[in-house]
Structure 1
Amino acid sequence: MDSLMLISLLMLQYLCISLFSIQVAATNGKLFREYIGAESKNVTFSDVPVNPNVEFHFILSFAIDYTTSSTSPSPTNGHFNVFWDSNTLTPSQVSAIKARHSNVKVALSLGGDSVSNRNVYFQPTSVTSWIQNAVSSITKIIKEYNLDGIDIDYEHFSSDPNAFTECIGRLIVILKQNRVISFASIAPYDDDPVQSHYLALWRKYGNFIDYVNFQFYAYDKGTNVSQFLRFFEIQRSNYRGGKVLVSFGTDGSGGLSPKNGFFTACSRLKSQGKLHGIFVWSADDSKGTGFGFEKQSQALLASPK
């Protein structure tokens, strides 16, 4: 092999490595998200450490289309009310945390699991009326609190996947078109009918959904690193083309815990250019522990390696 050919091959090899490195750097994300307010434990935004080198999203939990009655909450066909701890997570506190940290945005999550020990059902009277009511009531809340996006976290359904798809999909589209929100996410987990509803939504409206907050902590306790990585690949395939975020719970729920290898799994995904971000359930449960895992998550995301 002459010297010119050798030089050409070496240059080609260098180019391929450089392009791969650029691709990996481009696909990894620095997004950290944390749900807050669902447990009424007086947690505030300022309690949670914010690394200036990540994109940080607080997600208020929850706004629900139910009455605010503490004894008998019932569906309201798209009229959303605030159910997070509104005594400490106020509009002025939202403005304060965003003024203090330029990298912080705040969203609200819709639905959730339960309220007053009753399951929250997605239960529209009709697609058209639900959308009209939802656009109006959510817009009002977002403007009052100066919020940036929405998250969809319904976990119980009294409608088929098509109604859920049209209601939620068109809601996201309208809010984005009206410039009420700049991003939207969904929070599915691997169980039916949850997964079937969200996959139907993704197939039709995935182009309008910015992040998939997949609830990996809904898998069994004792999940190991290999299982977690396999679960991730399955969901990455299900939500093909989407930014699937990895997650853990600080409430003692299941999945791969930080103590058992979560950050090892994240490091592997990051080395492969697949780590779009991390989210945590929830700040309420982390309040008494010093938010150590939140700090570790953000440090990993901010690290260049």
Structure 2
Amino acid sequence: MGGHSSRTAPDLPLPHQEVVSLQGSGGRVQDRPAGYLAAANTAARLAQKCETGQVKVQLAWLPHSFQLQKGPSRHLWEIHGTFTAEGPCTLSAHFHCRERTSSSGVLRYEAADTSGPPSWSASYPAGKHELRLAGDKAIDFQRWPLEVFWKLKHKRMDVIPVVFVLDMPGVQSIVHISLEVSKEAALNLQLKLLRQKVVIDQKEYLLEEIYGLADLAKEDGAHDESSHGEPCVVCLSDPRTTAILPCRHLCLCEECARELSIGAQLRGDTCPICRGKIQHVQVFELKS
């Protein structure tokens, strides 16, 4: 008497409920289609937020400058590219290789086997320079066949066909490249930029262009309704702060992106710019 039982009451199963109407703005109840709550929960899980700011990189590849050109012989091909450096740096080229991270956080590349093309390096002063794989550095398909050394293979995704690395103290700027056969290309062979990344103070960053992200850092006004930046393409009022992935179009405000992401779950809504599939949305907040 006055005590309590040590036995725990069994959990009671709760009935499954699905909300089909939610409280909207202004106190009105807005009808929602069946499945809306589940779609909203899924959209919330897929949403990502990212604080963005400006970081100055002292070494930079110009990704659109890379070109593949026919060499003087039928089996020789040349790669051309451009980079900029704010100080003296070292450029190294590695082929048919694997990536490793050293104990100091620096990325290193080692040959996948002894039969591949040899690595090489060269020093450059500050300025804008052109990389040229030509002459004795040209790609030689007769000595190193295309299918074996220069194409990325799904069964050996860790073996990178071509890597270019720019090095200076505390900074690395890296590009991974492969060669692909294309029926649409005029020369039936094209260069494919697999990825671009930088290592700054032992932290690795994968670089992906977000179309419109640079506008967030404009100094001509704050990003509110009076912002000089482009408005959301859906509501045409709030500023664009949210990108659609994987197409990377930054074209929506956060609220419209949330509704469009829910619509992607319910109706298969797509990116309003390219009509691509919506897998995730990412909100960018400019670091002041």
Same fold (TM over 0.5): no
User: If each structure's helix is expressed as a fraction of its own residues, which one has the higher value?
Assistant: 1
Which has more radius of gyration?
A: 2
User: If each structure's strand is expressed as a fraction of its own residues, which one has the higher value?
Assistant: 2
- TM superposition score normalised by structure 2: 0.31
